[in-house]
Amino acid sequence: MLIKPVKKALFPVAGLGTRFLPATKAIPKEMLPIVDKPLIQYAVEEAREAGIEQFIFITGRGKAVMEDHFDHAVELEQVLRDRDKTEDLQTVLDCSPPAGQLAYARQQNPLGLGHAVWCGRNFIGDEPFAVLSADDLILGKPGCLKQMLDIYNQVGGNVVAVEEVPRKHTGRYGILDIETDDGKIAKAKGLVEKPDPAVAPSTLSIIGRYILQPDIFNILGEHKKGVGGEIQLTDAMAAMIGTTDFHGTRFEGRRFDCGGRLGFIEANIAFALSRADLREGVLKIIKDYA
């Protein structure tokens, strides 16, 4: 079995971020900071660690600041050089992937995750690719995508990151219908988008990390609408089962749902506690408020 390497990644970042209004009225949700880095930077760094070489952002109106973040800030960089702020300068320079590795495509209408992925088809071509949702922030070493690629290089096909959820929450996620499961890798015989808990085939849910074969663009191009009247990526993946192997892999690490306020706050606390320079101070603050 020929397994092509994964060197490209899509980042769907066109959402409005309404759950964070009014903060997201002028600032993209993906630019909200977890400690001292915006959400989208964590996703890009995870992809770089995994060996991704091409980064494609599926954007919308009001997202230009994200493009600026990953560009050179010439005046800022010069000021930091003049002031011998070597460490700060390196932090700023590390934000940007090498020249020519960033691309942007517009999703003019909010028609769902499947539609956002389809909007990046011309940048992907006939290669396998990764999709990373910045909302799903994962604290783990190595990063989640690196762990997934290790599995993908064994099994090929489509691979998604999965975790168990309470049955009462299956209506929030894409859920695997499992054929076999060894505790690490689950082979799927079907997928269901946001099933009612009473009929959910399992409690193994897909989170915002995917490795997909380019054949999926043919299915997404049909623009069939699913749950919520949107073009669902889960539906397109389900349609590929039978012709393309599909596996879910449990990852090592902790996922934070930064699409909501509580998950975002929890992520800030967890990431701060994971840093030696902040841990003691954060623990003191928590104790003071307990």
Kindly indicate the confidence band of residue 206, based on its pLDDT and cuts at 50, 70 and 90: very high
Q: Is residue 260, in this structure, part of any structural domain at all?
A: yes
Question: What is the pLDDT at residue 276?
Answer: 95
* Rounded Cα gap, residues 211 and 262, in angstroms: 28
pLDDT tier for residue 1 given thresholds of 50, 70 and 90: low
Average pLDDT for residues 23-40, to the nearest whole number?
93
**Is 1 part of a structural domain of the chain?**
no
Per the model's pLDDT, the better-predicted residue between 93 and 7 turns out to be 7
- Residues in Cβ contact with 284 at an 8 Å cutoff, skipping those fewer than 6 apart: none
Write the CATH number for 245. Answer: 3.90.550.10
Which range marks the domain in which residue 40 is found?
A: 8-289
pLDDT digits 0-9 by tens, 42-80: 999 999 999 999 999 999 888 889 889 998 888 999 999
Domain count, the chain: 1
285 within domain boundaries: yes
pLDDT of residue 109: 84
Q: Is residue 161 part of a domain?
A: yes
For residue 259, being part of any structural domain is answered with yes
- Residue-wise pLDDT for 207-241, tens only, equals 999 999 999 999 999 988 877 778 889 889 989 99
The answer as to whether 166 is a domain residue is: yes
Residue pLDDT, tens place only, 142-184 = 999 999 999 999 999 999 999 999 999 998 888 999 999 998 9
For the stretch 83-141, pLDDT in tens is: 999 999 999 888 888 878 999 999 988 888 999 999 999 999 999 999 999 999 999 99
Tokens of 34: 């977890």
pLDDT at residue 268 in the model: 97
Residue 264: inside a domain: yes
| pLDDT tens readout for residues 240-270 | 998 899 999 999 999 999 999 999 999 999 9
pLDDT of residue 16: 83
3 within a domain of the structure (yes/no): no
pTM, full prediction: 0.93
Tell me the per-residue pLDDT of 185-200, one tens digit each, with 9 for 90 and over.
999 998 888 899 999 9
Q: Which of 234, 45, 252 is nearest to 163 (CA)?
A: 252
- Specify the pLDDT at position 162: 95
